[in-house]
Structure 1
């Protein structure tokens, strides 16, 4: 029996299948071994490799859980769809007379990942101090991350300012808190202070800054960060390289983006996708398709759904209708990728911009899901541009009757009425927009 138990113990220390786990669990119950808290905790820890929900169920069946048991269950609950339920376990832990440790708080902090959990985060911070646990570098950095994810920059910075010791990870956590909430300049000031303190930024910190630079079109800052990466001798890994490609593409420097791509020693599908999209939106649709054909020759990289979105955008911008249709077919036929709503939207837009309104309507009629506002607006725009005015008016009016709140549908209908000198109808549509507080998106033309 001892040999069998030791074999089962070793098996649960590895990665058992669910069937094996059930058999071991049954043996532990029938043999009475599960009454041992040590054995129960070992089984509990093993269950985390299978399913967090399974761990929670097993925990509820324990007669004598200890702090280790609670910590495992709290960590598992943080990975379920109801993470805040872990606070009920925390309350149970306190009522049983256990004293939480640093791991308890860090696992609970993982459950506070949105603005609604801000109060929980502050309460945990207070409890951590109340239970006499000093804020270590580990727990302080976890708190920084959590305050940031809850949107409480003030609490995060106050904590950061009071930290007696900071690592490059804690500096990076605070910098990324600023960056994640659009505070690029404050993040950069902190980045400079970290640099002066003699610490080097982590890749996560650099990527956070680069991503916001790409989003906000901050070319000068992006270039400066690129210069820092080169001067520091950092390898242009897949994440850093892709972030730089994104910046240069968004700022129209497609040549520099291609140079970065070429200098990357290893590329993943995201790197290829980023450059394909960059080429397409900067008017180099043919080059984007050439790059896609080159990508198909790479044995270690396989196109995904995002890749085909970039390819279809490239076909739309260059008017290559037949190519676009063929690529759309290739998705499911050659790569097993089922088209999403966005892919169907690209095909409708591709046909619409080429004046093939009937083909676009046929795509909408036969697609396996309901079209969204983007698809309808693409079709309305095609109707108006290519002389299907009556059809465009009818569809725009139908679109509005459905209660859609996309400004493009209203603008297209208003413009269609204006072209036909139906100014009373123009006034009516514009009044509807005002009453429903629907605003025209700045920077978008009447063709949306």
Structure 2
């Protein structure tokens, strides 16, 4: 009987993990259940399989069925269940059950609990579990460090790391990778670099994280020194240094690294090619961009949406709108970014009406929904082309149809559009009314600044802004604006300030 159970659990594991076919795994499980051959391992394989396939409800149902039968949950069961919790309530229930069944001292279960609570941003709960653990391993400490980092508590993360070292737990690549990825301080990066040199941890994952951290903090020279010294670079290493040169304003060196990558017979992936296309865009290097396009077609990447998007952007920024349109039309699949790229291409080339038409077609495309960037691009196109009616209609659509709150960029486009077209008074009224309607004082201040840049001595701006301040409950600021209005001599019966 025991051998039969092992065979059934192995079959379930094969279909779930090797083939990724949960349906077939379910059929195998049902056969085992009907034949009375289920055991702990069979149930655990199914729960873990459901969790891996992100079918959390099925994982919990299997967990309940396991409890109803003669099989109590094991350590492996709770680790899998914790990883599949879609709600904090479900996680709390699973935790209570684990405590009830005596798993409170199990390191793996406690680590799973911490990970679950961390996913819901429950820092205090993570700390409570961590501090209550009699035994901790490197995973426990890593969870604590990463939890602090994801909540932007960098100082607490560093203190946990130092305490980890004091207690004799040796950090691993995940520890250092987490600290380097999230650090906002170049000094912290340099400190970790020094510790790595002393400790001799030279795994490629850590070195890549270190190169990325120096790139992010603007020290591209140090980043390249480390990259150059890496003995066995992987594709991630090359992508990081190309991205680093691009973000630090050295696109030519980024292009040279792409050439070096090809020369050592390492095949780039879609991200590599997107990066080099961005480099070509920043340099307006259309000849290099065409060569990359040819590489994409020759090496089986033509259906990649991200590459189609990058090609559209590259050709548009290099002044070839026709080629951008050809790439866009040839794309088998498009996403929101694809449409945004094409609308931006029209805007960059001063073809406002085409940009508006593209936006209209986008709205009728199945499964495609405009985002904030879409409206920035199309409003910018309207501004440059002087399309007042279209611009106002699109802003109205943005708010009323899609429910977006206009940002500073959107307001700026409308101010420019109405101002250039001689409708500055209308701009003031409409934009300030929008700010007041949404209770957005920050945007109101920004709009006021934009208008005052055009018209330094416009007292009506202060009147409107004071009312927005009052609506937001900022009475002191409203009073100060009232003083400013009096300096202009505007406090009279026609511009009387009154709180809403």
Shorter chain as normaliser: what TM range?
0.7 to 0.9
- When residues 396 and 207 of structure 1 are mapped into structure 2, their CA distance, relative to the original with a 3 A threshold, is farther
Corresponding residue for 2:25?
A: none
CA drift of 1:100 comes to: 2.1
Q: How does 1:19-418 map to 2 (within 5 A)?
A: 19-29=89-99, 32-51=102-121, 53=123, 54-112=125-183, 114=184, 116=185, 118-133=186-201, 135-368=202-435, 369=440, 370-371=443-444, 376-377=449-450, 381=454, 392=455, 394-395=457-458
With over 3 angstroms needed to count, the CA separation of the structure-2 counterparts of 1:375 and 1:237, relative to structure 1, is farther
Q: Does structure 1 retain, via aligned residues, the 8 Å contact 2:270–2:304?
A: no
Q: Judging changes above 3 Å, is the alpha-carbon distance between structure 1 residues 320 and 123 closer, same or farther for their aligned structure 2 residues?
A: closer
Structure 1 stretches of 4+ with a deviation exceeding 6 A read: 396-399
Shift, 1:191, TM fit = 1.6
Contact 1:78 1:110 in 2 (8 A): no
Closer/same/farther in 2, CA of residues 4 and 241 from structure 1, 3 Å limit = same
Aligned residue for 1:122, secondary structure, equals helix
Counterpart in the other structure of 2:495: none
What is the Cα-based RMSD across aligned positions, in Å? 2.9
Q: CA deviation at 1:195?
A: 1.1
Greater alpha carbon shift after TM alignment, 371-380 vs 306-315:
371-380
Report the CA distance between 1:197 and its aligned residue: 0.9
1: distance between equivalents of 2:236 and 2:294?
22
C-alpha contact (below 8 Å) 1:180/1:208 kept by paired residues: no
Deviates more, 1:370-379 or 1:220-229: 370-379
Inter-partner Cα distance in structure 2 for 1:263 and 1:8: 49
Q: Which runs of 5+ in 2 are unaligned?
A: 1-66, 466-500
Q: Distance in 1 between matches of 2:304 and 2:313?
A: 14
Give, in whole Å, the separation in 2 of the partners of 1:146 and 1:326.
44
Going from structure 1 to structure 2, the CA distance change for 1:374 and 1:193 (only over 3 Å counts) comes to farther
Counterpart in the other structure of 1:411: none
User: Structure 1: any 5+ residue segments left out of the alignment?
Assistant: 382-391, 403-448
Judging changes above 3 Å, is the alpha-carbon distance between structure 1 residues 358 and 148 closer, same or farther for their aligned structure 2 residues?
Answer: closer
In 1, Cα distance between equivalents of 2:197 and 2:432: 62
Q: Is the contact between residue 278 and residue 314 of structure 2 (CA under 8 Å) also seen in structure 1?
A: yes
Give the superposition deviation at 1:279. 0.6
TM-score by length of 2: 0.70
Contact kept in structure 2, 1:351 and 1:359, CA below 8 Å: yes
Q: 1:102-131 deviations in whole A, cap 9, x for unaligned?
A: 33222222233x4x2x33223323333433
Q: Number of paired residues?
A: 386
**Cα gap change, 1:324/1:42 in structure 2, threshold over 3 Å: closer, same or farther?**
closer
DSSP-derived class of the 2:334 partner: coil
